[in-house]
Structure 1
């Protein structure tokens, strides 16, 4: 057999270059093993533990500091003791950082809060300004207008309320106005209306007289509630004479009052006398013909008044002695 050709040398070295001898390894030291008879317990190597202390600090040497002094300053900082000023500065920096984060995450909430506070402050200022203006002389009473009087003289009522002039509309003394209007018996009720800037309107509802009651003092004009409106020695024209058993506080007078208030104005003007002994036997007398109207009780007075109005239109009182409307569905004429 032929012997194969040798491999080419590595690194371009010639094949005939002498081989470099490898350095001899130092002899390995062997630890003498204990005798088989001795009881030796093998232990693991002990390594130092650094818990939460970071890498071990480099040993201090007496080497000269570098040109920029950074290594020396870092070594001094790492080894310098921490004082209370450093702790205070660190805590302050942490608080500043926390406050900055809180402001960053609550900017929208703070913006909404500012808007609501601005709206509330504006409303408060408007309310204060309105109340202040309402109680100021800018809205004081300078004109008093009385509305709804027909039997009363409006000028007399205005004169009785003259002490309210110069008072702010919001500070009108209602008790003083009531005391002044009580002096007018014809006033049944009233309402006050303020018309800024300077007008006070008094709306009056007058009492409706229903007749005259004869007494020791003369003839007293009364309304349906029995309130005396005026007294005169002679009976006033245009009002019927009232004869009610039990006086103004009895049930007969109450039935007469309801009956007279239900009559239309044209029929009421024709009544010359009204009488009742009980609440169920009201009787009216019409005009100079002395035609009697049997009314009965005050129930269904509105329907009875309508039926009587139609009866007098078809059959005038001068040819009739009695109109009986006590049962309005079946009226009787005699």
Structure 2
């Protein structure tokens, strides 16, 4: 009679428990953790690789901020006409002796524009290794207005930016005399001043030099008073470019006339002699 057949004898595929000396299958193996010596070696290599960059960075910071090599020694101002270099330097307030890299050009520009209305635009740049350059563009008057202390200057945008004791040559005097004109209540003196500036900005160079006074009585009544007793009826500030062109042609065609009317630029007229 045959004995009981064991599982091993039948070749069954059931799991076996490995013995003490058995090697686990590859999937069950885990990588051995790195040795302390390997980790220390990697850290050392990293420090050695970063050391030059850290040294160079520290040197650069010292040169820029700590050394006496790159510090502000001079402030150069260019482009001034009426303003003095001393005025510009005073408002700019650039700290001489401070590191050049610490100067904020935009902050200096803001101080100048806020503190000196005469400046139209300004550019502040570092001039290595020791300088700051301030490049100024001043506003130019298109008209002036009489005041108690002299003449207020008004630029092409209608901005009153300064006062001078004497009237600049070649700049018309603006007189806004609205009296009881409806324009006084409808537009106001400020608006009428801007309208007159539009006219002055459109004048040909020769006519502007000869214009003594721009007189505003209403929105539709702007008159130019020229040298030699001549007058120009301009009308409103609308179509000023076309009116300036018509005036130039009219003055050539009617040389010697005393009164020019370009209020309707398509039909200019001249009279008097």
Q: Which structure has more RCO (C-alpha within 8 Å, separation ≥ 6)?
A: 2
Match of 1:192, SS state, is strand
Kindly indicate whether residue 79 of structure 2 is the aligned counterpart of residue 148 of structure 1.
yes
Q: Which runs of 4+ in 1 moved over 6 A?
A: 121-132
Q: CA deviation at 1:243?
A: 1.1
The equivalent residue for 1:229 is: 162
* TM-score (norm: length of structure 1): 0.55
The equivalent residue for 2:30 is: 95
Match of 2:220, SS state, is coil
The equivalent residue for 1:48 is: 6
The equivalent residue for 1:299 is: 238
Q: CA deviation at 1:329?
A: 3.4
Whole-angstrom CA distance in 2 between matches of 1:214 and 1:123: 66
Over aligned residue pairs, what C-alpha RMSD do you find? 4.4
Cα 1:156–1:131 shift into 2, 3 Å: same
The equivalent residue for 2:181 is: none
Whole-angstrom CA distance in 1 between matches of 2:153 and 2:52: 57
Retained in 2: the 8 A contact 1:212–1:239?
Answer: yes
Match of 2:206, SS state, is helix
Whole-angstrom CA distance in 1 between matches of 2:218 and 2:58: 62
- Higher strand residue share: 2
Q: How does 1:68-83 map to 2 (within 5 A)?
A: 82=20
* TM-score (norm: length of structure 2): 0.65
Retained in 1: the 8 A contact 2:259–2:270?
Answer: yes
Q: CA deviation at 1:223?
A: 0.6
Q: CA deviation at 1:130?
A: 7.0
Retained in 2: the 8 A contact 1:220–1:228?
Answer: no
Could you report, residue by residue, the CA deviation over 1:311-333 in whole angstroms, capped at 9, with x for unpaired residues? Answer: 434544xx112222233333322
Q: How does 1:107-126 map to 2 (within 5 A)?
A: none
Whole-angstrom CA distance in 2 between matches of 1:130 and 1:293: 68
Whole-angstrom CA distance in 2 between matches of 1:195 and 1:138: 13
Q: CA deviation at 1:157?
A: 2.3
Q: How does 1:302-317 map to 2 (within 5 A)?
A: 302-316=241-255
* Residue among 98, 103, 106 paired with 1:167: 98
Match of 1:202, SS state, is strand
Q: CA deviation at 1:253?
A: 0.7
The equivalent residue for 1:256 is: 196
Whole-angstrom CA distance in 1 between matches of 2:204 and 2:88: 29
Unaligned runs of 5+ in 2: 9-13, 35-48, 179-183
Retained in 2: the 8 A contact 1:212–1:219?
Answer: no
Give the greater-gyration-radius structure (CA).
1
Match of 1:312, SS state, is helix
Whole-angstrom CA distance in 2 between matches of 1:122 and 1:297: 73
Match of 2:7, SS state, is coil
